[in-house]
Amino acid sequence: MTTVRDTVSPPAPPPARPRQWVRVVARRNEAWTFTILVALVAFFSIAAPGKFFTVYDITQIAVNASIYLVLGVGMTYVIITAGIDLSIGSVLVLAAVAAAEYNIHHGAAAAGWGTVAVCVVIALAVGTAWGALQGMLVATGRIPSLIVTLGGLGAALGLAEIATGGEDPSGAVAAHLQNSLGYGKLLGIPWLVVLAAVVTLVFGLVLSFTRFGNYTFAIGSNPAAARRAGIPVARHLVKVYALMGLLAGLGAVMWLASYGTTSIAGHSTDNLTVITAVVLGGTSLFGGRGSVLGTVIGVFIPAVLTTGLIVIGVQQYWQDVAVGVVLVAAVYLDQLRKQTRERN
Partner 1 sequence: MIALPVAEREPLLSARGLVKHFGQVQALQGADFTAHRGEVVALIGDNGAGKSTLVNVLSGVLAPDGGEITLEGKPVRFSGPMDAQHQGVETVYQDLSLAPDLDATANLYLGRELFLGGVLRPFKVLDRSAMRLAAIDAFAELGVSLKDVTVPVAALSGGQRQSVAVARAVAFARSVIFMDEPTAALGVVQRGRVLETIRRVRDRGICVVLISHNMPEVLSVADRVEVLRLGRRVASFNAAQTSIEELVGAMTGSLDEPTAAVRNASDKGSAL
- Tell the smallest beta-carbon distance from residue 228 to partner 1 (Å): 5
Interface residue with partner 1 among 17, 187, 188, 344 (CB under 8 A) is 344
- Binding to partner 1 by residue 170, rule CB under 8 A? no
* Integer Cα distance of 238 and 251 in angstroms: 20
Q: Residue 203, interface with partner 1 (CB under 8 A)?
A: no
State which of residues 59, 60, 214, 335 lies at the interface with partner 1 (CB under 8 A): 214
Nearer of residues 64 and 284 to partner 1, judged by Cβ = 284
Q: What are phi and psi of 223, to 5 degrees?
A: -60, -35
Q: Under 8 Å CB-to-CB from 266, ≥6 apart: which residues?
A: none
List the interface residues with partner 1, window 8-37 (CB under 8 A). 8, 10-11
Q: Interface mask (CB under 8 A) for partner 1, residues 323-342, using x and -?
A: ------------------xx
Phi, psi of 13 (to 5 degrees): -70, 135
Q: Which is nearer to partner 1, 74 or 287 (CB)?
A: 287
Output the CA angle 323-273-52, nearest 5 degrees.
60
- β-bridge partners, 190: 185
- Buried residues in 65-89 as b, exposed as e (16+ CB within 10 A): bbbbbbbbbbbbbbbbbbbbbbbbb
Q: Contacting partner 1 (CB under 8 A), which of 86, 196, 226, 292?
A: 226
Q: Treating both helix axes as pointing N-terminal to C-terminal, what angle do 55-80 and 233-259 enclose, rounded to 10 degrees?
A: 160
Selected from 72, 83, 220, 281, the binder of partner 1 by CB under 8 A is 220
Contact 118, 176 (CB under 8 A): no
The binding track of 279-298 with respect to partner 1, each residue x by CB under 8 A or -, is --------xxx---------
The residue ranges that bind partner 1 (CB under 8 A) are 1, 3, 5-6, 8, 10-11, 209-212, 214, 217-218, 220-222, 224-226, 228-231, 287-289, 341-342, 344
